Chain A
Amino acid sequence: MIKKIKASKSEKIILIFLVILSIVTIGPYFVIKNECLFIKNFDPKNINFKNPKNIAILNLPCGNVIIELYPEISPNGVKRFITLIESNAYDNVAFHRVIENKLVQAGDLEFGRKDSLDYGKIGTGKSGLGTIKSEIENEFIYVKGSVGLARTYKNDTEDSQFFIILQDEPLFEGEYTPVGKVIYGLEVLKKIKHQRHSEYILRPDFINTFRMLD
């Protein structure tokens, strides 16, 4: 005959503790659906900028990313970037390449648009304005938040795609054309959808709008 063993008081306490611990740990994943809950949204109207002419506002699902552009470092790169921003070309364009805590990349105007997303070709699209020359001569230290123009493996192939780095990348200096730096809203970028096993994103997040401040 099997003897029934009753749990002692301390065993019951441990069990209750474990149940509470699992609820507290796993619960928020189900309860808190809003991933942007603790992300501060910066309103550019409440900020005084030294050089408002060079400020661009990238509006994303979790809020604004405020970028200062550096035309004195990469005049042609920034000119191209502003041309595309001012024509609203980046609106509804995907962040097609995202590496958690490292880099986000967007700006494929041909295959990255919400209404004409092409997973097979995303990352290879063109703007229709042609490529521009790399501007990698001037000193620029790629620290967290730096914005650069993406290119193919060859120089002088920059077009519309850009990336923002989420960690310092000293080896990027002299490789990629820098166009600016995030001055507010880096946390917003960390919430862009990423995948653990691939740089290229299935059902990616999109840019809501990208505008110059002035």
Chain B
Amino acid sequence: MNLIRAILLLIIFITPLRANTIYNLIKIPNLKIYEINTKNKLKYLYATSSFRLGVQKNIVCLSSNKKDLERKYKTIYKNLSRYSYNYLKKINLKYIVLCEDLSISGINTAGIPDNIMKTLILDIKFNEDYFERVIHHEVFHIVNDQHRELFNKNEWSKFNSSEFKYAECSICTEKLGLETYNKTNGFFTEYSKSTASEDMAEVYSHIIFLSKNEIDQIRKLDSILDNKISYIENKIKKIDNSFNF
């Protein structure tokens, strides 16, 4: 036992200090710069090897190969380029971390937003069918976390019919489908029905992702979604008046 301790101590003492600027800034290990010279000043980082985060190290993400990174970066860059530097500053988003098979406590997730660290971790292997829209969904969570005072869950819940109730949390329900409904009936997707904040994020991501004509069409046919869309648009305009939907 003492020998093991001695060997461990020796390793510590002979291992030189390797300061990591990225780790110091956002507290995520094993990252390297992918692209930092972007118009809206978003800094794209990627995982060189897997990392674990959180107090219980329950957030896990793996590194990706160069080919996947290159392909997905283009998609992510295109989508996030819709946001201006000013808007990103107001919502406190600066770093995008690209990795794959992102999970929290073993449950796969598309992204993990952290407005305090100005970081959004994205799983580049997330379901291709919804990947682009989900990027905006995760951006909304940053918006919501940064401007909690603007988004009132009780106000939001009143848009729904009186008999509808959200689940206690987003993973306390089976309602996880991300396919956009043909008949919306107050909700864009099944996942919208999980919690008020997920519903808001789904509405936001659809406003950003769908064309204006498609949104106008939905507004005409669904009065509940019409109200929800107006609510999100108004709140976003309060954050950044120059924001273009």
Contacts and interface: CB of A to CB of B under 8 A. Distances in A.
Given A171-B22, A175-B25, A197-B12, A99 B17 contact: yes
B25 A171 contact: yes
Interface residues of A, number: 15
Interface in B18-43: 19, 21-22, 25, 33, 36, 41, 43
Contacts of A198: 17
B94 interface: yes
Interface string A149-179: 0000000000000000000011110110000
Contact of A199 (B12, B17, B25): B17
Interface-central residue, A100, A103, A169, A174, by most chain B CB under 10 Å = A174
Chain A interface mostly: loop
Contacts of A171: 21-22, 25, 33, 36, 43
B16 interface: yes
Given A171-B33, A174-B94, A197-B12, A102 B25 contact: no
Contacts of A103: 19
Given A171-B36, A174-B94, A100 B25 contact: no
A197 B21 contact: no
A197 B33 contact: no
B196 to A, nearest CB: 29
A170 B36 contact: yes
A60 to B, nearest CB: 21
A138 interface: no
Nearest to A167: B21
B164 interface: no
B241 interface: no
B25 A99 contact: no
Given A171-B36, A171-B43, A195 B21 contact: no
Interface of A: 99-100, 102-103, 169-172, 174-175, 195-199
Interface of B: 12-13, 15-17, 19, 21-22, 25, 33, 36, 41, 43, 94
A-B pairs, top 9 by smallest CB distance, nearest first, are A99-B19, A196-B16, A102-B19, A197-B17, A171-B21, A170-B36, A169-B21, A196-B17, A171-B25
6 contacts: A174-B94, A175-B25, A196-B16, A197-B13, A197-B15, A198-B17
